[in-house]
Chain A
């Protein structure tokens, strides 16, 4: 069965900490995405990647960076966590370069920044 695994289900961090959110997919997909989901705002794209070592900014990249050293792994980095980055973070992958259909999502990481 298709699987996108996010390393942590819940995470509590302090303001100013560097935070790493890890995502691994086992489908040999080229495309990987990081979204955040907030009540009343819906899903917003932070960064995405079409290939190893490639990255593209989404709609809200400020305060975030990403790393994709291996095809199956896509990491989201909060360089200096702030309280407004408290959110549900969702990783997704898909196998198509042009069509983003059948995005497969992980279960999410609920991050709280205190």
Chain B
């Protein structure tokens, strides 16, 4: 069974304090790994797709990386507006569905 585990469940940072969120997965033939951001009371918003080990993608203060067993979302010098829940999801080869992790709730204090 395909599984996605995100850690930590919650993370508090001071503004400017860099850190990383982890997404570990077990899947039969990874087709893609996805990162989404979700603000309170809103639907998830797409951030990145990673397809193969070694791939990296960046957007502003966020950088996503992928290995054969996990993905990291690195947040460099975060700002309070980066506060949100970050969701990781995987799509297995031969499957049309995404399997989501439970998310990491990030709070950045000014």
Contact present for B97 and A45 (CB under 8 Å): yes
User: A50 vs B96: C-alpha distance in the bound complex, in angstroms?
Assistant: 10
Contact present for A107 and B49 (CB under 8 Å): no
CB-based A-B contact count at 8 angstroms = 56
Select from chain A the residue with minimum beta-carbon distance to B6.
A42
Residues of A within 8 A of B36 (CB): 103
What bracket does the count of chain A residues touching chain B fall in? 20 to 34
Select from chain B the residue with minimum beta-carbon distance to A101.
B49
Contact present for A101 and B102 (CB under 8 Å): no
Interface string of B68-110 (1 = CB under 8 A from A): 0000000000000000000101010000111011110000000
User: Interface of chain A, helix or strand or loop or mixed?
Assistant: loop
Residues of B within 8 A of A43 (CB): 44, 87, 89, 100
Select from chain A the residue with minimum beta-carbon distance to B91.
A100
Residues of A within 8 A of B101 (CB): 42
Tell me, rounded to whole Å, the shortest Cβ–Cβ distance linking A5 to chain B: 11
Contact present for A99 and B32 (CB under 8 Å): yes
**Residue A58 lies at the interface, judged by CB distance under 8 Å to chain B:** yes
Tell me, rounded to whole Å, the shortest Cβ–Cβ distance linking A104 to chain B: 7
Residue of A40, A41, A56, A102 touching B96 (CB-CB under 8 A): A56
Contact present for B98 and A100 (CB under 8 Å): yes
**Residue A74 lies at the interface, judged by CB distance under 8 Å to chain B:** no
B-facing residues in A82-114 (Cβ within 8 Å): 90, 92, 98-108
With most chain A CB atoms within 10 A of its CB, the pick from B41, B45, B89, B96 is: B96
**Residue B63 lies at the interface, judged by CB distance under 8 Å to chain A:** no
Residues of A within 8 A of B100 (CB): 42-44
Given contacts A40-B102, A44-B100, A108-B41, 13 further A-B contacts (CB under 8 A): A41-B102, A42-B87, A43-B44, A90-B44, A92-B43, A99-B31, A99-B91, A100-B32, A100-B96, A101-B32, A102-B46, A103-B34, A107-B42
